[in-house]
Structure formats: structure tokens, C-alpha cells
Amino acid sequence: MAHVVTSKCLGCKFTDCVEVCPVACFYELDGQLVIHPDECIDCTACVAECPVEAIYADTDVPAEFEADTAMNATESARLSAEGVAAITAKKDPLPTAEARKKELGY
């Protein structure tokens, strides 16, 4: 089992989660993060760190975010194959992060 970053991350890209991850399984898209399912060890450390609760176990992804499971797998594999390294250090969130966080009710 792996974890999935849902589209709740879109427009935020808080990276608190990558600092607690014991393996390098997070990859960075322009608007959000994704998790490589083959690299995730299902430790759950990242879940509590996300300020917008965008990370779920792949078996617990709400129906409205089901497409994000395949998107995480596809995009992380693509980036890895292109030689893009996983993100392992916290970065500043997107400029739209605080507004997006409020929009999501956090």
C-alpha cells in the first residue's frame, strides 16, 4: 500500500510532508506534489504534516479524488524516468497557498 497526494494540494504545494518522509518518494509538479507508489513505504508520517489534509492511503482515497491515485503513479513515474530527483527538503509553498488553504476550509 502507498499514499496518494490528492488535488487538495493543487495551488498549495506545502512541503512539510517531505521533511518527515524517511524515503524519497515525493515528486514536484508545477502546482502540487505527487507520491511515487513504488517508493512509498506506507509509514504514514506525511499524513499528519499536510496542512490541507491532501494525503491519503491509497485504499482510503475519497471517491472524489480517485483519479489522483493514477495521476500520482503516472506523473511520479514520468518524472523519475526523466531523471528528476524526488524532493527531500521543505520549500516555500506557492503564493496561492494560504488562499487555497482557506478555500478548503483549513
Asked whether the predicted pLDDT for residue 1 surpasses 90, the reply is: no
Q: How far is CA 66 from CA 2, 4, 47, 56, 87, in A?
A: 14, 10, 17, 11, 24
Q: How many residues does the chain have?
A: 106
Report the CATH number at residue 20: 3.30.70.20
Asked if the structure places residue 25 within a domain, the reply is yes
Classify residue 104: in a domain, yes or no: no
- 54-98 tens-digit pLDDT: 999 999 999 999 999 999 999 999 999 999 999 999 999 999 999
Asked whether residue 22 is assigned to any structural domain, the reply reads yes
Closest C-alpha among 79, 55, 80, 84 to residue 69:
55
Asked if residues 61 and 69 have their Cβ atoms less than 8 Å apart, the reply is yes
- pLDDT tens digit string along 18-45? 999 999 999 999 999 999 999 999 999 9
* Within a domain: 101: no
Residue 99 domain-assigned (yes or no)? no
Residue 21 included in any domain: yes
Contact in structure between 40 and 32 (CB atoms under 8 Å): no
**Residue 67 is part of which domain span?**
3-94
The tally of domains found in the chain comes to 1
